[in-house]
């Protein structure tokens, strides 16, 4: 198969939440490899700075910044950091998320419900609230929300997680229409089972058949290199063989 031409993102600033591990790390590595300057965020400052340091040691441009997407003040501080140090953000990947415990909804603790929705849905809202004004000022941007096929289908014993991803999908569709006139494309990626340490529902599955984080990163790269007249609003990714 003939390889496509390399597309450089030189000059672009990309922000990836939850960029230290799993899907987020693969996305950060992919975008940095395309010459973007990547700002990775995580609640663990030392860890995310270590991950960013690994990227810079390989000749890539990256910075690790502590940010808790569930905390408005933390996200606003990140937004101010981006404005002062970079002046613009071209790509925002809302990847930070949690799965929560596996179990029946009526047995789920309210604190677990709050944690799931605050991370998976409120966090994306906070990040867009902080970053979209920078994109509007620049006249363009890409926002990519990492959702799940659980936001398209029922997920017994994971109803709260599923509901948070249905909500993220709805948020993405609505904001996409709000921002299209500003030349900002908002897309959502819904992967199936991904081979990470993320969720409890990984147990018992054939990891060789599961999607890999790089598969999601590939979809992100496709979205941010679309032609100007093209808008891919949603990407569903399934394993070729069910795990």
Could you give the residue ranges of the DSSP H alpha helices within the chain?
22-33, 45-57, 72-85, 110-117, 123-138, 159-179, 213-224
Residue ranges of domains in the chain, CATH in brackets = 13-237 (3.40.50.720)
Q: What parts of the chain have a pLDDT lower than 50? A: 1-3, 200
Residue 61 contacts by C-beta under 8 Å, 6 or more apart in sequence? 32, 35, 36, 37, 38, 55
Residue 219: name the closest of 35, 8, 19, 27 by CA.
Answer: 27
Residue 92: name the closest of 103, 107, 78 by CA.
Answer: 78
Tell me: the pLDDT tens digits for 195-219? 987 654 556 688 889 999 999 999 9
Q: What is the dihedral of CA 194, 198, 201, 204, to 10 degrees?
A: 70
CA distances from 24 to 73, 97, 160, 174, 183 (A): 22, 10, 22, 24, 25
Active site annotation includes 161: yes
CB–CB of 143/175 below 8 Å?
yes
Catalytic residue among 86, 125, 161, 173: 161
Tell me: the pLDDT tens digits for 90-122? 999 999 999 999 999 999 999 999 999 999 999
Residue 43: name the closest of 18, 72, 73, 62 by CA.
Answer: 18
pLDDT recorded at residue 161 = 97
CB–CB of 110/153 below 8 Å?
no
Q: What is the DSSP letter of 226?
A: -
Phi, psi for residue 192 in degrees, rounded to 5: -80, -145
């Amino acid at each position: 198969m003939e390889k496509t031409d390399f597309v450089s993102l030189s000059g672009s600033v990309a922000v990836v939440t939850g960029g230290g591990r799993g899907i987020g790390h693969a996305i950060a590595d992919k975008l940095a490899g395309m010459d973007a300057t990547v700002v990775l965020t995580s609640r663990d400052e030392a860890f995310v700075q270590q991950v960013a340091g690994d990227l810079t040691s390989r000749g890539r441009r990256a910075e690790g910044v502590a940010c808790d997407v569930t905390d408005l003040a933390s996200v606003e501080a990140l937004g101010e950091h981006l404005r002062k140090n970079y002046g613009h953000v071209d790509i925002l990947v809302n990847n930070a998320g949690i799965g929560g415990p596996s179990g029946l909804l009526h047995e789920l603790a309210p604190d677990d419900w709050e944690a799931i929705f605050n991370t998976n849905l409120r966090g994306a809202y906070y990040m867009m609230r902080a970053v979209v004004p920078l994109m509007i000022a620049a006249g363009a941007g890409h926002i990519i929300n990492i959702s799940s096929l659980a936001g398209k289908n029922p997920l017994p014993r994971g109803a709260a997680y599923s509901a948070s991803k249905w909500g993220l999908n709805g948020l993405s569709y609505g904001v996409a229409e709000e921002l299209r006139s500003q030349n900002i494309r908002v897309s959502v990626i819904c992967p199936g089972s991904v081979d990470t340490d993320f969720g409890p529902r990984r147990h018992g599955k054939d990891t060789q058949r599961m999607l890999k984080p790089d598969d999601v990163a590939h979809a992100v790269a496709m979205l941010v290199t679309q032609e100007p007249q093209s808008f891919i609003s949603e990407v569903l990714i399934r394993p070729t063989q069910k795990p």
